[in-house]
């Protein structure tokens, strides 16, 4: 888009600020500086934009805008909402931050070891500074990429982040824009990449003033959150540019390394050039200008490679996607319930398919959806798929927010972690799983609109009305629900948490250093599942080195035959070892057959 029409307030660092607002249906747009009764009219520009260059706004100034002499509201492209979603916008000099990461180079995507975290519950402080203080810990764990749940301004101070209503403004209670810039600088100093979760498929309800300024929404499509954002209806160009420029802002002004785009299957766009393609094209231009590398990662529930195929092959060009199906198959294999969307998965056979094909459903009939679903991901490398044994959704969308730590034995937790980290895909951990955090991760909000808060409370109860045997759904508005979801860092020095942490460190170190395990090349992989015994054999080779992962998901010890008649194998990992608090170590060397302890994994390397 025209750089002169980037939405928002842009101070020049001297005496003037340029204000740009998209309001194509307005007859008049007026600036209301805080602390003054004097107003100033913006001037109409091309394609529905309004502009004003004024000395009445400086960095730090607060202001609102009014459309057609109506009530003043915050700037739709506000960079900062220091008093929350209903307060005035504040001018911020984003370009004024003193970056010291000029030598930073983003890691290759295939090397990412991702750690998903929620800013408010990750640390006691509940802000960006709290994350920065824990970077030495994350570094010692072996993490090289953190994924931060959304930080766009939401109402109150307690929220998952998916109720954001100011996509350009960094949450005031987390530390605002400068706090995020400081965190990214600290991460880069530590050699850690930063992925930021952004939401381009809907807006939250409270403080959502976009519709006042123009046709940001369309009645053409419905989403689970109401009318869809307008990406292909009349006046959509301004909406598309608004979100494309938002993606560029995170890369350009905050040095974010990758974006994770929430639920892109809910982006309704039948344009000739999909919104994701437009974001990709703009990102490519930015990377050519700056020499920096940025990735675009999508949450996708369609098993459609069009999203992750390169644009020259007719795809949208996204670099990677979350794969929930790996999680679902892994969960059922571990004995999880088969209700809802889990009913589509049969356990070990589908887990084997997930290892082999990335997608479990790639054209088969889905009983849960009552239709055939997905296409094969034949030519997509493993680095395009992100897998996990738990994440914010899969934990927090349970009524009681239980983590794997309270659902499964310690031994099975260790097996699940290894199943993820030894896959040919990008592994992701959810904060606290590495020490078996027992606190739940619950759904919480802090809407200041009492009527809306009550509606959310009732909606949550209704959603789980059939689960009364488990008790009442926790009140998402209650501050205690948020407090219960905070990590307990004091557990790190206690057993079995200390042992689990050491185990994860060992897993991650092996993943990062072994030439076969660190590879995301899907060729050279074979897998066999034994449904009767609930066991799986994963064989991986890079042509020179070869190893076999023996996974026993059953509650009895099981004998496994090793591949090859005369092959010699040396043990390189054993989750059942007493070193990790396990019941019994396997032999260091094996030839034909080996016994694997219940709920454990053995990894042998061919020698």
Residues 43/28, Cβ–Cβ less than 8 Å:
no
Place of tokens 């987390």: 174
- Give the pairing of strands 589-590 and 593-596: unpaired
Both tokens of 538, joined, read 């994963």
* CA 396 to the chain's CA centroid: 14
Length of the chain: 607
Mapping DSSP to helix (H, G, I), strand (E, B) and coil, where does residue 54 land? strand
User: Cα separation of 65 and 32, whole Å?
Assistant: 6
Find all residues with CB under 8 Å of 420, minimum gap 6, and list them: 326, 330, 387, 388, 389, 427, 428
Find out whether 468 is annotated in a ligand binding site: no
Instruction: For 3, list phi and psi in degrees, rounded to 5.
Output: -60, -25
Neighbouring C-alpha atoms within 13 Å toward the C-beta of 472: 6
430 is in an annotated binding site: no
Distance in angstroms (rounded) separating the CA atoms of residues 362 and 514: 31
Q: Are 68 and 27 in contact (CB under 8 A)?
A: yes
**CA 599 remoteness from chain centre:** 29
d(CA 301, CA 298): 10
Pull the structure tokens for residue 466: 């059939």
**444 assigned ligand-binding residue:** no
Annotated binding-site residue? 265: yes
What are the φ/ψ torsions at residue 525 (nearest 5 degrees)?
-115, 135
Helix count and strand count (H, E) for the chain: 15, 30
The backbone torsions φ and ψ at residue 554, rounded to the nearest 5 degrees and listed phi first, read -85, 175
Q: Annotation-wise, does 392 bind a ligand?
A: yes
State yes or no: 327 annotated in a binding site. Answer: yes
**Three-state DSSP state, 192:** coil
Residues with catalytic function: 262, 299
Per DSSP, helices labelled H in 55-191 are 119-122, 128-133, 135-141, 176-189
Q: Is 208 annotated as a binding residue?
A: no
Q: In angstroms, how far is CA 203 from the centroid of its own chain? A: 17
Please report, for residues 84, 263, 265, 304, 351, the alpha-carbon distance to residue 300 in angstroms, rounded to integers and kept in the order given: 31, 6, 6, 8, 19
- Angle 275-290/236-254 helices, nearest 10 degrees? 30
Q: How far is CA 307 from CA 269, 284, 303, 372, 448, in A?
A: 13, 16, 9, 19, 37
Q: Is 325 annotated as a binding residue?
A: yes
Q: Is 301 annotated as a binding residue?
A: no
Q: Is 447 assigned a ligand-binding role in the annotation?
A: no
The answer for residues whose C-beta is within 8 angstroms of residue 178's C-beta and 6 or more apart is 92, 97
Q: How far apart are CA 56 and CA 40, in angstroms?
A: 9
Dist. CA 447–CA 216, nearest whole Å: 23
Q: Do the bridges between strand 525-530 and strand 426-430 make them parallel or antiparallel, or are there none, so unpaired?
A: unpaired
User: Is 260 labelled a binding residue?
Assistant: yes
Tell the residue number behind the tokens 């809407």, with chain if given.
Answer: 447
Distance, CA of 323 to CA of 304 (rounded, Å): 11
**Phi, psi of 412, deg, nearest 5:** -70, -35
Contact 142, 130 (CB under 8 A): no
Question: Is 324 marked within a binding site?
Answer: yes
Is 127 marked as a binding-site residue?
A: no
Flag whether 393 is marked binding. Answer: yes
- Is 237 assigned a ligand-binding role in the annotation? no
CB atoms within 10 A of CB 272: 6
Binding residues: 260-265, 324-328, 392-397
Annotated binding site for substrate: 260-265, 324-328, 392-397
């Amino acid at each position: 888009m025209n750089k002169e029409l980037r939405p928002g307030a842009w101070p020049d660092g001297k005496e003037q600020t340029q204000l740009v607002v998209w309001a194509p249906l307005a007859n008049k747009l007026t600036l209301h500086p805080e602390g003054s009764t004097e107003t100033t009219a913006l001037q109409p520009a091309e394609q529905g934009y309004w502009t004003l260059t004024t000395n009445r706004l400086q960095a730090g100034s607060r202001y609102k805008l009014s459309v057609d002499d109506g009530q003043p509201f915050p700037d739709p492209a506000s960079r900062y909402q220091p008093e929350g979603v209903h307060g005035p916008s504040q001018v911020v000099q984003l370009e004024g931050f003193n970056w010291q990461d000029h030598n930073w180079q983003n890691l290759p995507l295939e090397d990412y070891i991702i750690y998903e975290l929620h800013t408010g519950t990750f640390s006691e402080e509940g802000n960006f500074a709290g994350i920065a203080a824990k970077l030495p810990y994350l570094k010692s764990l072996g993490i090289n990429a953190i994924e931060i749940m959304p930080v766009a301004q939401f109402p109150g101070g307690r929220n998952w982040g998916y109720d954001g209503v100011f996509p350009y403004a960094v949450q005031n209670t987390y530390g605002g824009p400068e706090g995020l810039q400081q965190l990214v600088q600290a991460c880069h100093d530590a050699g850690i990449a930063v992925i930021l979760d952004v939401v381009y498929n809907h807006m939250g309800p409270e403080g959502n003033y976009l519709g006042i300024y123009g046709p940001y929404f369309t009645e053409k499509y419905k989403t689970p959150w109401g009318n869809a954002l307008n990406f292909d209806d009349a006046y959509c160009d301004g909406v598309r540019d608004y979100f494309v420029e938002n993606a560029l802002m995170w890369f350009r002004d905050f040095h974010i390394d990758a974006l994770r785009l929430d639920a892109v299957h809910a982006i309704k766009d039948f344009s000739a050039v999909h919104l994701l393609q437009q974001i990709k094209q703009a990102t490519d231009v930015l990377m050519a200008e700056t020499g920096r590398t940025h990735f675009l990662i999508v949450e996708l529930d369609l098993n459609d490679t069009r999203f992750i195929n390169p644009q020259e092959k007719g795809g949208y060009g996204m670099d990677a996607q979350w794969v929930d199906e790996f999680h679902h198959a892994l969960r059922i294999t571990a004995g999880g319930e088969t209700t809802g969307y889990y009913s589509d998965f049969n356990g070990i056979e589908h887990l084997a398919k997930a290892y082999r094909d990335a997608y479990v459903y790639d054209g088969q009939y889905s009983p849960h959806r009552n239709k055939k679903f997905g296409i094969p991901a034949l030519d997509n490398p493993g680095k395009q798929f992100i897998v996990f044994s738990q994440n914010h959704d899969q934990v927090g969308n349970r009524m009681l927010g239980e983590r794997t730590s309270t659902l499964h034995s310690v031994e099975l937790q260790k097996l699940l972690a290894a199943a993820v980290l030894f896959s040919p895909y990008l592994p992701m951990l959810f904060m606290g799983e590495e020490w078996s955090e027992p606190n739940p991760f619950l759904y919480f909000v802090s809407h200041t609109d009492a009527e809306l808060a009550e509606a959310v409370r009732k909606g949550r109860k209704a959603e789980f009305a059939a689960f009364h045997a488990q008790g009442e759904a926790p009140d998402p508005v209650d501050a205690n629900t948020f407090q219960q979801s905070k990590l307990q860092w004091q557990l790190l020095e206690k057993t079995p948490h200390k042992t689990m942490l050491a185990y994860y460190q060992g897993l991650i170190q092996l993943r990062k250093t072994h030439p076969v395990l660190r590879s995301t090349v899907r060729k050279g992989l074979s897998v066999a599942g034994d449904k009767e015994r609930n066991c799986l054999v994963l064989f991986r080779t890079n042509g020179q080195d070869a190893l076999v992962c023996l996974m026993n998901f059953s509650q009895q010890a099981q004998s496994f035959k090793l591949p090859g008649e005369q092959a010699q194998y040396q043990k390189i990992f054993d989750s059942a070892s007493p070193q990790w608090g396990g019941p019994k170590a396997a032999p260091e060397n094996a030839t034909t057959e080996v016994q694997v302890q219940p709920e454990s994994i053995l990894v042998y390397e061919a020698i």
